[in-house]
Chains A and B, each alone.
Chain A
């Protein structure tokens, strides 16, 4: 009897076999129709007075765009493409389920690219929320994190004049890399690093120009919130953040302006590329770090009488750039290393990499060692070219100083 299921004459079995497909008609368990889900673009987490958590989400409202009638309606100021809803709860997860009660479509987190925490939450610690973002399969590890001065709800309710919605604005600003950019993955990685201190970009609402509608504005990145472990301990402003970026080798774009010695006016330079490296050294029990920074610049503005085509002038400008950079970095170190005592530069990891043996012994004393780590800046900034026009037309040649 060598007749088996697949071999037996098909006709006899075909009909009952097809009948089985009837069960499939009811659909599958996990179908997600695009018109049944609510796409979340950004989420904000605020602390309420009673200690509860309030999450606010920005939903994308799918609408027919470009249709002539709708287009006319939307004509005035940016048409409502988004919607915000909020809910409260003890934890993010609880608030999330309460939020679902208020939204007729199933919440879908896969496109949530921005998370905004308000200052009060940040001071309490945000690791518990990051835990959820990394645990739930729907959340993406590339979502960017921000700490806001104002309530996150307020920020999400802004109507962006330029981009599709405020989430896009904040995300694009983060992508510009003028300040720090921190994704959920980066944050978690910093948390499990040797020092465990973290930093997240700080955003605040840009005050609208007078006469404009109050909500017609955006939030922008203006500094960095510094965390010890996951608790915010302070914030640094934009210019100090630049120093932080140099230390973390995250600097991408910059315009550096210096005032040459014995001169009036300024010379501004555009940063083309930059690389920095921290080199740890332990000499006679003294812990040191050397920041080696290399960069290339173009001159973009010169309001002094200096002749920037002269190689010797360029040399002295380069020197001043180096001094300027060292000053920047030292400002950052003063605020973050000495005052806040948070190792967001990755010094601990650098020492661990370079001196694994010593590190093993001294690991537990890091919080004592860190504020006293001496940092030397060894900057090598090169000016590559003077721009398209070498001498300003309004300065007669004889006034231009040779040196």
Chain B
């Protein structure tokens, strides 16, 4: 095994939370509002089903191949060559998606604060820090998130509380104006976020308390769903129909806070959440990418490829989109199908084949025995 560290199931839940939420919190309200209108707060609830299903599938696969990650058991399930091809697909997919995340991070930082700093520098600093965390291995990442994430969640709730007096519940209505359809449509894009939960299949083999993996995985999905619903409710009640046209509603919401004339200009909180959250997110993806690549190439250690991969991630950040418009267009249209087919489609296929194989083996066993 390449990774010798162990993490607890709780740490895994903490790691997965910002891995989904970090970029979601900022972009989700606007993207869902475009299709779901005033029902946008329902969309995360529908989308979270994908998350629950994915965690379930990953857990079933883990039960069948307890000590292996998805890269390793795909070879066992599909055979050597197809398994390797699938591995290559996964590696390129993770390269692409991590590049996009790096880009999303850079876009936000440079739009809101560092207007003149070249985006490459913003990427590079983050990737460098993440690479150190990845170098430390899974235990380091786990403990990092255990420290960071509770603070983030509390900070985030504090924004919600401080905005309370500016919220207008009238904006909820008319509820379900066009039936459930629009909120389902809005959830399609969100599903791509929830499908990222397939990353748990990288962590299940390294859990110290494996029996609790499923439980904490599900709790993690639930908490992500709750936070997304809260975010969408906050944007809806504060901005009403304006939500759809804002690029970063949560950012605007945070700086709209003004309590007693002196507690205001709190976008710093959002920035803290964003930087710390995306740090965890990028690190988790980066780790999965590096570990997967090493397993695919049968390396004896994953550490030598950390820096080269990091360098590629910076480049992919630059290459992933020419501008913000293209990026958000991609994310709100084709990305959903692209992410879903790889992060949901492939695991489902793997599980089905694995189950059939197991059945056959049992039947053979019963025949010969």
Contact = CB atoms under 8 A, between A and B. Distances in A.
Contacts of A6: 132, 135
Nearest to B115: A30
B242 A188 contact: yes
Given A137-B111, A353-B170, A193 B240 contact: yes
Contacts of B256: 141-142, 185
B112 A356 contact: no
Interface in B100-150: 111-118, 121, 132, 135
Contacts of A2: 300-301, 303-304
A367 to B, nearest CB: 19
Interface residues of B, number: 34
Interface string B266-310: 000000000000000000000000000000000011011011000
A85 to B, nearest CB: 23
B255 A29 contact: no
B206 to A, nearest CB: 21
Interface in B299-356: 300-301, 303-304, 306-307
Contacts of B264: 142
Contacts of B258: 142
A189 B241 contact: yes
B38 to A, nearest CB: 9
Residue picked from B112, B118, B258, B301, most chain A C-beta under 10 Å? B258
A80 interface: no
A177 interface: no
Contact of B245 (A141, A192, A356): A192
Interface in A123-171: 134, 137, 140-142
B21 to A, nearest CB: 23
Contact of A29 (B117, B261, B303, B307): B117
Query: Which of B174, B245, B264 gathers most chain A CB within 10 Å?
Result: B174
Interface string A169-202: 0000001000000000100110011000000000
Interface string B233-261: 00000011110011000001001101001
B173 interface: yes
B265 interface: yes
A204 to B, nearest CB: 25
A6 B114 CA distance: 29
B174 A352 contact: yes
A28 interface: yes
Contact of A189 (B239, B255, B300, B301): B239
Nearest to B177: A356
A5 interface: yes
A78 interface: no
A178 B242 CA distance: 26
B240 A353 contact: no
B29 to A, nearest CB: 15
Nearest to B173: A353
A28 B122 CA distance: 11
Contacts of B114: 28-30
Contacts of A28: 114, 117
A175 B306 CA distance: 55
A110 interface: yes
5 contacts: A29-B116, A30-B114, A30-B115, A354-B174, A356-B174
Interface of A: 2, 4-7, 28-30, 110, 134, 137, 140-142, 175, 185, 188-189, 192-193, 349, 352-354, 356
Given A2-B301, A7-B303, A30-B114, 18 more contacts: A2-B300, A2-B303, A4-B307, A6-B135, A29-B118, A30-B115, A30-B116, A110-B265, A141-B252, A141-B256, A185-B239, A185-B242, A189-B242, A192-B241, A192-B242, A192-B245, A349-B170, A353-B170
Closest 7 CB pairs of A and B: A353-B173, A29-B116, A356-B174, A29-B117, A30-B114, A356-B177, A192-B241
